[in-house]
Structure 1
Amino acid sequence: MKIGIMGAGAIGCYLGGSLQHAGHDVTFVGREGLAGEVQEHGLRLTHYQRELIHFPSDQVNFVTAPESLAECDAVLVSVKGTATQDVAAKLSQIISPEIIVVSFQNGVRNAEWLKEKLPKNPVFPGTVSFHVLREPQATFHFGTSGNLYVGTPEPARSLSSQEEKLIESLKSAGFKTVVTKNIAGVQWCKLLFNLNNAVNALSGVPLKEELSHPGYRRVLSACMLEGLEVLDRAKIRPVRVGGMLPRISPRVLPLPNWLFFRLARTMISIDPESRSSMWDDLHRGRKTEIELLNGEIVRLGSKIGYPTPINQKVVQLIRAAEEAGNGSPAIPAETLEEQVLASRSNK
């Protein structure tokens, strides 16, 4: 298949590189800075359990303008959620109605925004439950276990032969790919766990180190429990995604280390150097997706009239870090716990 990657960052480059390694014709659309890295170093994919994949620069079709996506059979959208609506408008001027579009992005509303601008295209919501970290010299590291999830078509129908072919292409590239009727439940589960993106970004330490500290875990637990309360009141039911247990994990997180490490082996099955994409955004001076993660809990809470002081405080701290422009504020666990949990008194 001819597959386009709209938003060739960490996730996009790993998806596209893996698809190219499996024999597919891939076009990467991304930023000029990364295009320069690829031109100089090629594209490198590393994995915590597999061998290095390296494409020399002359084998990578990496461009900065999306016009070439018109020739693709499918476009995988992996831009930051904050850019989705602008990207949707651009794609509406470029791609024909038969081109398949799949959103592999954080958040729960991206496919909806894409469909608004691409009403005639088959648009699928998707979720990525693994983590990829961008490293120097156009290197992308797959640091955790996880799957790809793709929602079934709406209104309900069978997948077309071309859509089936895309799913098989993703599987052939080494991704466990699950087609589900309850993609909303999957997305909300992922969002609850992605509330840790902000905690990790504020901590300034790798994910494994962060999750090894009870103070940071208590902050994450509080964010998740508040999120679950909002979802319950909104009658939204997140579902289990692999080892992500949305109702059990917040209860396990505050446990003492000796017990947590026994019960949460999947949660801490992380490469020692992996960090969240939000930490990476702060490190690179870019706007984060905080409004689509903790901010989504705040938005939904406001909509149903339920206060969300914990997640509001985390949003506030990330916004302050964005404005400061100095990367992660590297807040110690005890300080972050005090700042965030004290916000409960304002509820």
Structure 2
Amino acid sequence: MKRGGEYARDSRYLTTRITADGRDGFPVEPGRYRLVVSRACPWASRAVIVRRLLGLEQALPMAIAGPTHDQRSWTFDLDPGGRDPVLGVERLQEAYFARDPGYDRGITVPAIVDVPTGEVVTNDYAQITIDMSLEWTAYHREGAPALYPPALRPEIDAVNETVYGDVNNGVYRAGFSGSQESYAAAYERLFNRLDLLSRRLEGSRYLVGDTITEADVRLFTTLVRFDAVYHGHFKCNRQKLSEMPVLWAYARDLFQTPGFGDTVDFDHIKRHYYMVHRDINPTGIVPVGPDLSNWLTPHDRAALGGRPFGDGKPPEAVAPDEAVPAGHTPLA
């Protein structure tokens, strides 16, 4: 927390990279690493979506932590015996301490763990998805989309920078504000940016170019949590997403696109925010609503043109062992 009650995110990440040439000591190798995520976390959800869109499920196996955690760490309470079956640990914290016994930063997801050593390689979520696009190309599925095409990278980077500051992190700046003044500033900044994004998307199906890119993934993970969590829990309540026609249609378009909505677990999302943030929600009561069936209503965005996967094609159906449980999504 900064002076004046402004929320400040700890951005000290492990920035080691897994690359095709192994220049940081960690070469891309199928099956060597384990992507640890929680479906509750928007930063981890980016990695889940990109991995699925690119078809990296076999090359980069995934571990799913439970939706809640304590001050120590995310836990593998969804797995039999409460341990990840590959890493053999109960808490993600153990992989961070294997890398650095004195580690004193956030135990965050997504994190990529080197299975042979049990050590976290990186938790630099922004770079993780870029490297999935650029460094893991040998293992992309046939028909995988170009999420970070060279010609569009400057524009994607510029959009991502403003979306991160004002929207992705903006909802947290509002929700965790320590003063009325800092909350009001974050609130205004958030909705000003959402208004600008609405105008940008009025005549364009996607944020940059005519296909899905990294920019759409990053905005989507905040939008999909907006009505279920951020509107009430984080006091981002000028309007619900479902009351912002352009962004609501845009979000539904992505949700109904293979690779997006089929990774979203609304049950985990709500349990995480409402049960973990006891300073905001002391009772830990998880709301029953909202009604999620409206995510499947027609969006009519195809009339704007655009090709979701460019010259490629949608991913195959989700593997049964990675499917979101029935009742946790309107798609089930």
Q: Same fold (TM over 0.5)?
A: no
Greater relative contact order (Cα 8 A, min sep 6): structure 1 or 2?
A: 2
The structure in which a higher percent of residues are strand is: 1
TM-score computed with the length of structure 2 as normaliser:
0.28
TM-score computed with the length of structure 1 as normaliser:
0.28
The structure in which a higher percent of residues are helix is: 1
